Structures are given as C-alpha cells and as structure tokens.
C-alpha cells in the first residue's frame, strides 16, 4: 500500500438558485474589490449580469469579458495585465474551461507582480499564493473548477500551469447556469467529462480516492447525460451532470489523463474540432487500446455505466464498456470517426508523431505506447 495525496478545492456550494449566495460567499472571503473573468458568449446569455448584480451589492466589481477559447500565452498575458491593473482581492471566473483557467491565471498574477505568465508554466512555479478565487462553471465538462491546472497554448501545444494555488477557494454550481448550453455542447462537454473519468480510472497515477471520484462520475454521466441532452431544462439532470464533471475533475486533477487526451490535444491544435468533441471521439479507441492492460478496471467502468456484467469475464465486461461508450456517442449525435470531420487521411502519420511527443500523458498510460501503436490508434480513430 502506498501513500497518496489528493488536492481539492476548499469549498463547494451547489444547488438551485445558489447564485443568490454569491454576495455572501464574496463577503466570506473578505473581498472588497472583485474582478469577474468571463467571455462574450456568457455576456450574451445574461449570466454575467446574474452574477455581477448580487456581487455589486457587497463589493466593487470590474469585468474582463474577453477570454478567448483555447487561450494562447499572449491571450493569457492580456488577462494577467488586466488583473494587475488594480489590487483586486477576489477573482470570479464565470464560464467554461478556458475562462476558469484564465481566472486562475488572473488570481495568480495579482499576487505575483514580479512574474509574467510564462514564468508560471510547469509544476509549482507560482511563487506567492494567488488571491482568493471563486469558480462558477457554465458547462458540465472540463472539470476545471476542481483541478490545480490552467492550460495555455504555447507554440501550438497545450502546456499546463500546475499549482495548488490554482485550486478554487469557492466552487459555485448552479444547474440553471448550465441549462443555457445547447444540446450539442451538452453532449460533447458531457462526453469530455466521461473521458476524464475513464482516463483517470485507467491512469497509472490513479489511487483509491481518485478511483472513487472517477467511478461515481461515470455512473452519474451514464444515468444523466442523455436526459440533459434531450431535456435541457431538467435541472435535476443538469445538477447531477455538474457534480459528475466536478468529480471527474477531482479524479483527473490528481490521477492525470492518458493517451486519449494526448490525441485530443493534438487534434484540437490542428483542426477546428473542439477539445470536447476530440476527446469524446478518442475515448472508445483509447479504452480498446488499453483493454489488454486494464481489463479489471474496464470491467468496473462497465458496471458503473450500468451494464449487466454478472457471469462475464473481465475481458467480456471491458468489451461491453467500449460498446456502451460507442452507443452513447451515437445517441448524442457526436462524431465517431476522424474521417467524418474532414481530417485528411494523409495527416495520420503526422498526428501519430505529435501524439508520441505528449510524453506526460503517455507515461501514465497503462499500456505502453510505441510509435506503431499510435499510428494504428489514429487509423482506427479515422476509419471507425
Ligand atoms: Fe478534456
């Protein structure tokens, strides 16, 4: 038995109309001057006002609403500059994964005027503890509200700022906030959350606690994602999906993700395919590739997906898990083949080369990935 460590947010407040407590939460953090970090889409949905109005009743509020999706180092530096412009004592991130990651950067930047964003890249490079931050997710997918990572595109590659200072002081989850997601986004982000949970469960970095988070996330997603997709106004399904995505974030924030995310980051960097769609598409192929090295884990995944595995061998149960994930992708009308996404077949060797460079993800993969394996995997992803 080893010794394990798990990093988690300090406080999670969730439920219907939880947004009414934003002022009290800000007060609890001793805030006087808050910066809300968000993006144009959230502004259009009216959610920015829903958060800004009660916050303004208790603290001074400034807004940065220009976060780009998949932010580059330059974009992250712009957020940091805005944050350093005043002595904010609270950063509120309101949005999807990119926004929440930029809120982490903003709160680190205020506390570390001597560092630029590139100084933060890597593990434990933020010198002083960040100012308090409240993270409010508007999708149920990335799990960014629960992880110690902020992801930034540097020279076409996704790099991480990994620090316990990135963890939220308060996570605030309101099901009505994710109810504004259209069905397509509900589907892809929900399957991205499933890929986090399954990859974290398979990861060599998994431990008994991250397994508990991952397996419960898988169960909740299997039970609620198709309902949230079909009936977006079902707040019960929405809340359960938010909890699942956060649990998956708690799992992969500590156990790490594996070759599926190496593939998703590579695909996302080269084509206009969202991260969520790419990691959802990769998931069954990653399970298939790893099955020989992780049958027992995949049998547990099958059980949490709701499959009847009584009397089956681990190998048979693992096949059921893979088949169920494929069925979910089809039911959610998500792409299952790279060929359907206009990825040229001639690019496959290059994609395999790029995946092989994602050494951190590959090191945690339960089955060793050689170059020939990566080629076969992308070929399978392409042809289905
Ligand atoms: Fe992901």
Residue 99 is assigned to a structural domain of this protein: yes
The residue among 125, 159, 178 that closes a domain is 178
Judge if 259 and 275 occupy the same domain. yes
The SS3 of residue 359 is: helix
Residue 129 CA from chain centroid, whole number: 23
Residue 5 is assigned to a structural domain of this protein: no
Distance 191 CA to ligand 1 centre (A): 9
CATH of the domain at 215: 1.20.1090.10
Judge if 166 and 196 occupy the same domain. no
Distance 242 CA to ligand 1 centre (A): 15
Distance 164 CA to ligand 1 centre (A): 20
Could you give the CA distance from residue 53 to residue 76 in angstroms, rounded to a whole number? 26
DSSP letter for 181, please.
S
Cβ-proximal residues to 194 (8 Å cutoff; 6+ apart), any chain: 217, 218, 221, 225, 248, 280, 283, 325, 328
E strands present in the chain: 12-14, 33-37, 60-64, 90-95, 122-123, 133-137, 149-154, 157-162, 170-173
Distance 228 CA to ligand 1 centre (A): 19
Judge if 130 and 277 occupy the same domain. no
Are the C-beta atoms of 225 and 121 separated by less than 8 Å?
A: no
pLDDT of residue 2: 86
Distance 17 CA to ligand 1 centre (A): 27
Are the C-beta atoms of 82 and 64 separated by less than 8 Å?
A: yes
DSSP letters spanning 257-312: --HHHHHHHHHHHHSS--HHHHHHHHHHHHHHHHGGG-HHHHHHHHHHTT---TT-
Residue 7 is assigned to a structural domain of this protein: no
Judge if 199 and 98 occupy the same domain. no
Q: Which of 51, 150, 140 is nearest to 100 (CA)?
A: 150
Judge if 149 and 237 occupy the same domain. no
Where does residue 296 rank: exposed (0-12), middle (13-18), buried (19+ CB within 10 A)? Answer: exposed
Judge if 27 and 62 occupy the same domain. yes
Distance 30 CA to ligand 1 centre (A): 33
Distance 62 CA to ligand 1 centre (A): 30
The residue among 145, 178, 211 that closes a domain is 178
Distance 153 CA to ligand 1 centre (A): 14
Task: From residue 145, give the alpha-carbon distance in Å to each of 9, 23, 110, 243, 372.
Answer: 8, 19, 19, 11, 36
Judge if 174 and 187 occupy the same domain. no
Distance 152 CA to ligand 1 centre (A): 13
Indicate the number of domains in the chain. Answer: 2
Are the C-beta atoms of 256 and 203 separated by less than 8 Å?
A: yes
Judge if 263 and 373 occupy the same domain. yes
Please give the radius of gyration of the chain, using alpha carbons only, rounded to the nearest integer: 20
Distance 261 CA to ligand 1 centre (A): 6
The residue among 178, 211, 226 that closes a domain is 178
As a whole number of angstroms, the longest Cα–Cα distance in the chain is 63
Judge if 83 and 208 occupy the same domain. no
pLDDT of residue 157: 86
pLDDT of residue 258: 98
Distance 184 CA to ligand 1 centre (A): 16
Distance 112 CA to ligand 1 centre (A): 28
pLDDT of residue 103: 98
Judge if 167 and 231 occupy the same domain. no
Residue 34 CA from chain centroid, whole number: 25
Distance 263 CA to ligand 1 centre (A): 11
Distance 276 CA to ligand 1 centre (A): 6
pLDDT of residue 1: 75
Judge if 329 and 198 occupy the same domain. yes
Distance 113 CA to ligand 1 centre (A): 30
Distance 90 CA to ligand 1 centre (A): 27
Could you give the CA distance from residue 50 to residue 63 in angstroms, rounded to a whole number? 13
Distance 53 CA to ligand 1 centre (A): 32
CATH of the domain at 150: 3.40.50.1970
Distance 172 CA to ligand 1 centre (A): 20
- The whole domain housing 208 covers 183-383
Distance 214 CA to ligand 1 centre (A): 14
Distance 54 CA to ligand 1 centre (A): 32
Judge if 243 and 330 occupy the same domain. yes
Per-residue model confidence as pLDDT tens for the chain (384 residues): 789 999 999 999 999 989 999 999 999 999 999 999 999 999 999 999 999 999 999 999 999 999 999 999 999 999 999 999 998 999 999 999 999 999 999 999 999 999 999 999 999 999 999 999 999 999 999 999 999 999 999 998 889 999 999 999 999 999 999 998 999 999 999 999 999 999 999 999 999 999 999 999 999 999 999 999 999 999 999 999 999 999 999 999 999 999 999 999 999 888 989 999 999 999 999 999 999 999 999 999 999 999 999 999 999 999 999 999 999 999 999 999 999 999 999 999 999 999 999 999 999 999 999 999 999 999 999 999
Distance 224 CA to ligand 1 centre (A): 19
Distance 85 CA to ligand 1 centre (A): 32
Residue 316 is assigned to a structural domain of this protein: yes
Are the C-beta atoms of 175 and 17 separated by less than 8 Å?
A: no
171 strand-pairing partners = 12, 135
Are the C-beta atoms of 193 and 33 separated by less than 8 Å?
A: no
Distance 22 CA to ligand 1 centre (A): 28
């Amino acid at each position: 038995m080893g010794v394990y460590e798990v990093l988690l947010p300090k406080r999670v407040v969730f439920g219907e109309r939880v947004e009414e407590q934003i002022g009290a939460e800000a007060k609890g953090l001793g805030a006087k001057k808050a910066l809300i970090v968000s993006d144009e889409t959230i502004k259009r949905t009216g959610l920015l006002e829903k958060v800004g109005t009660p916050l303004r009743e208790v603290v001074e509020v400034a807004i940065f609403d220009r976060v780009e999706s998949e932010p580059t180092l330059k974009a992250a530096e712009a957020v940091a500059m805005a944050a350093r412009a005043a002595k904010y004592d609270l950063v509120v991130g309101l949005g999807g994964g990119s926004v929440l990651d930029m809120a982490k950067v903003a709160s680190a930047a205020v506390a570390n005027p001597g560092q630029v964003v590139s100084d933060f890249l890597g593990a434990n490079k933020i010198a002083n503890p960040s100012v308090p931050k409240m993270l409010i997710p508007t999708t149920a997918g990335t799990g960014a509200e629960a992880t110690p990572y902020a992801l930034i595109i540097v020279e076409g590659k996704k790099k991480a700022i990994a620090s316990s200072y990135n963890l939220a002081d308060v996570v605030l989850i309101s099901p009505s906030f994710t109810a504004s997601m259209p069905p397509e986004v509900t589907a892809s982000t929900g399957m991205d959350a499933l890929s986090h949970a399954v990859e974290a469960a398979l990861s060599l970095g998994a431990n008994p606690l991250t397994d508990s988070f991952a397996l419960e996330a898988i169960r909740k997603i299997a039970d609620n994602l198709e309902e949230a997709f079909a009936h977006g106004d079902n707040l019960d399904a929405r809340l359960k999906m938010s909890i699942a995505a956060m649990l998956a974030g708690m799992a992969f924030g500590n156990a790490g993700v594996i070759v599926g995310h190496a593939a998703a980051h590579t695909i996302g960097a080269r084509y206009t395919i969202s991260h969520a769609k790419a990691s959802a598409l990769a998931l069954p192929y990653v399970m298939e590739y790893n099955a020989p090295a992780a049958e027992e884990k995949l049998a547990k995944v099958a059980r949490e997906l709701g499959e009847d595995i009584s009397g089956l061998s681990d190998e048979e149960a693992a096949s059921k898990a893979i088949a169920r994930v494929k069925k979910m992708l089809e039911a959610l009308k998500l792409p299952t083949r790279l060929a359907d996404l206009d990825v040229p077949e001639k690019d496959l060797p290059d994609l395999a080369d790029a995946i092989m460079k994602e050494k951190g993800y590959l090191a945690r993969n339960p089955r060793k990935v050689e170059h020939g394996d990566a080629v076969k995997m992308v070929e399978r992803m392409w042809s289905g």
